Amino acid sequence: MRKLLPFIVIMLLVIGPLYGGDEAKKVDKALLSSDEVKKADEAIPSSDKFIPVETMPEMIKKVAPEYPELAKKAGIEGYVFIQAYIDKTGAVKKAKVIKSSKKDNGFEEAAIKAAYLCLYQPAIQNGKPVGVWISYKVKFALDSEDKDK
């Protein structure tokens, strides 16, 4: 079993991202020392820190959040403001809710989940890609067919 462990870890790191990547990220952090994990987490600047950019990130792959089933059945609509850190590669590295019209209806969780699946053309400063925080609104609105049900 000890001889298989490195193979298993490598397989999770290679294949994991193809299936959502969560397991690979957990394994990856598990292999790092606590100091290395702290450094990786510190690589994302505070959301209130000003980061100068010439060009803001542009979304190249938008993923719409799944409408929470209970909210849909209850006819609840609302919005969520998301703040997301887009890294140098255009990937969302951190996402959080900064404001929500309604709590405990699933909108916040659905918006965060969708945020992590979006891809961006990264921000540019001095001709080089840079990581930056962005904010945007996610609307949850039922179409007329859903309202009639």
Residue 134's φ and ψ, nearest 5 degrees, are -130, 160
Q: Mind listing the pLDDT tens digit for each residue in 12-40?
A: 444 444 444 443 344 344 444 555 555 55
> Comparing C-alpha atoms, which of 57, 80, 62 is closest to residue 117?
62
Q: Mind listing the pLDDT tens digit for each residue in 93-125?
A: 999 999 999 888 999 999 999 999 999 999 999
Tell me the two tokens of residue 70.
């209970």
> Comparing C-alpha atoms, which of 116, 127, 120, 45 is closest to residue 90?
120
**Domains (range + CATH), the chain:** 1-43 (no CATH), 47-148 (3.30.2420.10)
pLDDT for the residue 3:
56
The C-alpha angle 85, 89, 90, rounded to 5 degrees, equals 50
Instruction: Tell me the C-alpha distance between 28 and 19, whole Å.
Output: 15
Q: By three-state DSSP, how is residue 125 classified? A: strand
